[in-house]
Structure formats: structure tokens, C-alpha cells
Chains A and B, each alone.
Chain A
């Protein structure tokens, strides 16, 4: 699956990181670092992290 972030929307709430710290991390500068091609085995937690974004900055596609 593919995950992408809209950098204009992301304000580093870190709710994705809280939900799935293996595939999402906010760095010291407040910039999201993410695994853009997470394995399908992680689909459940990745999708939960995508929908946890209050700014709707994350999207996922198969």
C-alpha cells in the first residue's frame, strides 16, 4: 500500500505517530517522517493512523 502526506495540511499533531509509531514519526523540527510503502501486514494500524489525522493530511491507497 501507499501512504502520502499533504505537507501544507500537516501541522505535526502526532496523532498518527501515537496510533502507529512504527510507520509514522514527527521529527524535532515538527516534520512528519513516514513509511510511504508500508507492508500490507501493517494495513490495519496504518489505516487507523491515517484516519486519526485531525487535519486530514494523510491519505492511503492500495
Chain B
């Protein structure tokens, strides 16, 4: 890298420092580097450093070139793969990636998700009953009572995990997804959570092999790639990514939606007046919130860019959250507009690694907001949220709210 811009404001920005993310001031930093330092070098206290991209068009350039910018060396910002040793589908490159992906995609299509619609609706209904009851006695903690509950219940059913075991899914996710000290009780916490998850799913795999049902675990154990069943390592990696991604995403879209509508109450009024806006509103929430702030690639060859050289093996971080607020792409990007269209947001990422669970996330969030509208509830934050200590996920640990009938 060159040092010609070392004194510029953009070069000073440190995206490995978590405090702006914890206090919700990350967009101030994204704005600076998007304008001033579009290919931003960031030192890492415990790693080799990474490049950051924040302009929408630059992210697309990288995403459209999976041969140059690969996933196989990890997608978390730290130099590790969150699943441990066996690569998950999102940490796999073509041609293997496509074969692995096709194993699950048919079962997570929009039309498939409709088979789970009744479950989603009844889960939302029970959650709204519960928070309305709680609200009669005082404040409600939204994440524990609603946002985290819906994805777990739905995910459990989709995977084939009995309802009683669903809290385990959330517990494993909390422990592997970030380094937030609240969940790190020991130095080997992630490894222990992974082992617990794998042990649990080893049992479920055996059960579904013997007696398949209409769930994803049954589909995965019956699946073949080139005539061969998936190995235990492949299955384990799949379970791992489905649990983590099914959990740590939609819950933050739901909590983030409550926060976004508190910030833009007029947009909630527009939804109340016209429910056909629900569909574009979900896409706008994905853009505005961006539950996955970033994903990482690794350069597979040297690339000249902005007068610098990204060298083979260097990490390149795609900041979806920054690109989703790029004024070159989105008019008035810091404003929530429920009728924004077209809305080519990167809230599910983009390219061959686009979110596998996008249709499930949309269905859950749509059902939640539609039922809140039908009951004409107002869910109002009464304090700042507690944010997860991570720069990669736009995640909320707690949000205190009141729930009232409008």
C-alpha cells in the first residue's frame, strides 16, 4: 500500500475499534471513508490488517468476480472461519459452492416457505399476545420476548428440531457469532459451543436417516452430490451455518424495524394507511438496517485499484451497511422510505453467496409487521438498545419497549 493518503481523515478511521458500532455511530465513519478513502487500509491489533470497501459500485465489482475475491479463506473479518475446520457453503468457492448450495436452496424457496406460513403466523400471534400481556404490567424487553423468539421457533421447525430444544439453537449462536464478553465465559467457548451443536445434530442426523420427515435435516441427509451422500463434515458445516444464519439475522431485522419506525414515525403511519407498502417496506428495512454489516473476501491475485495494490492473500471487507447508504446509489440514503423502488439493496448480500434464508427472513418479518398493523399496536423504544460487541453484525442484545394499542 502507499502512504500518500495517510494524513487524510479517511485514513485515520479504524473499523476494528468496536466502540462506534456499540454506540450506533458507525455511519459517521462510513461516510468519511466512502468519500475520502474508498479503498481503506485498516490495521488489526491481532491480525494482518484488512482492506475496506464502502462504495456500492466497488462492492458489486468484487462480488461479481468470485474467482479473484474468494470466500474459501473465511468470511469473518478476523482471520478465522467461524465454523472451525470444515468449510460451510458460504466459505466455499465455485465449482463446489454451486453443488453444495443446490442441496438446500430448493427447500428454502419462497413457495416452500409458504408451507410454514401457518407456523410463522401462529408463532407471531403468540408472541404478540405475550408482549401485550407483559406490557399491561410495565416495560417489555423486546429481544428476549419477541425478536429472538420468532426466528428460533420457525428455524427449529424448518430444521426439524423439537420445540423444547429450540433455546439451545440460540445459545450456541450467541457463543459462536461474536466475541461479545457477555457470552464468552471461557477462552474455548466457541469450540465448546460448536462441539455441543455437532453432538446434538449427530443424534438428529441418525434419527432422520432412519425415519425421514418433511424438514431440512431429512433433506440434507438424503441429498447427494455427484451420486455421493454428503459426508458428516459437510452435514455438520451445513447445520452450523443454518443455525447461526437463521438466528442472528432476522432477530436483528425485527428489533431494527422497531427502532427504525421510532426514528421515522411518519413511515409507520404510511404503512398503517396502505398495507400494500409492506412488501417494499421490508426491502427498505433490509437496506436501512443491514443486519449483516459486512462480509470478507480474500484476494486470490494481486489487484491494482485506486493507485494501490491489493496483494494476493490480503483480506478485503465488503461493508454492505456502508454501500446501502451510498448516495451515489440511493437518494436520501439516511432516510427510511417504505415505498422506495427500485431498491437494489445489499441487505442479503449479492452475488453467488446471497443469503440462503432470504425468503424465510422476508416471510417472518412480513408476518410480524402485518400482525402488528392488524392489531394496531405501537411498539415504542424507551431506551437505547444494547448492541452486540461486534463490527460484523448489526445486532441487538436488548431493547426495552412499551406496547400500546394505537
Instruction: Tell me the A residues contacting B by CB distance below 8 Å.
Output: 9, 11-15, 17-18, 21, 25-30, 48, 51, 54-56
Check if B359 is an interface residue, CB within 8 A of chain A. yes
Contact between chains at B359 and A26 (CB < 8 Å): no
Contact between chains at A15 and B101 (CB < 8 Å): no
Stretch at the interface among B2-10, B29-37, B104-112: B104-112
Docked pose: A28 CA to B104 CA in angstroms: 10
Say whether chain A's binding surface is mostly helix, strand, loop, or mixed.
loop
- Whether A11 touches B97, Cβ cut-off 8 Å, given contacts A29-B106, A54-B350, is yes
Contact between chains at A13 and B102 (CB < 8 Å): no
User: Could you write out 26 A-B pairs with CB less than 8 Å apart?
Assistant: A9-B352, A11-B101, A11-B105, A11-B352, A12-B105, A12-B106, A12-B109, A13-B354, A14-B105, A14-B108, A14-B110, A14-B359, A18-B362, A21-B110, A26-B106, A27-B106, A29-B106, A30-B101, A30-B103, A30-B106, A51-B344, A54-B351, A54-B352, A55-B352, A55-B354, A56-B64
Contact between chains at B352 and A18 (CB < 8 Å): no
Select B110's contact among A18, A51, A55, beta carbons within 8 Å.
A18
Say whether chain B's binding surface is mostly helix, strand, loop, or mixed.
helix
Contact between chains at A17 and B110 (CB < 8 Å): yes
Docked pose: A49 CA to B134 CA in angstroms: 43
Smallest Cβ distance from A47 to chain B, in angstroms?
A: 11
Contact between chains at A28 and B352 (CB < 8 Å): no
Docked pose: A28 CA to B358 CA in angstroms: 18
- Name the interface residues of B309-358: CB closer than 8 Å to any CB of A: 342, 344, 348-352, 354, 358
- Name the interface residues of B94-127: CB closer than 8 Å to any CB of A: 97-98, 101-103, 105-106, 108-111
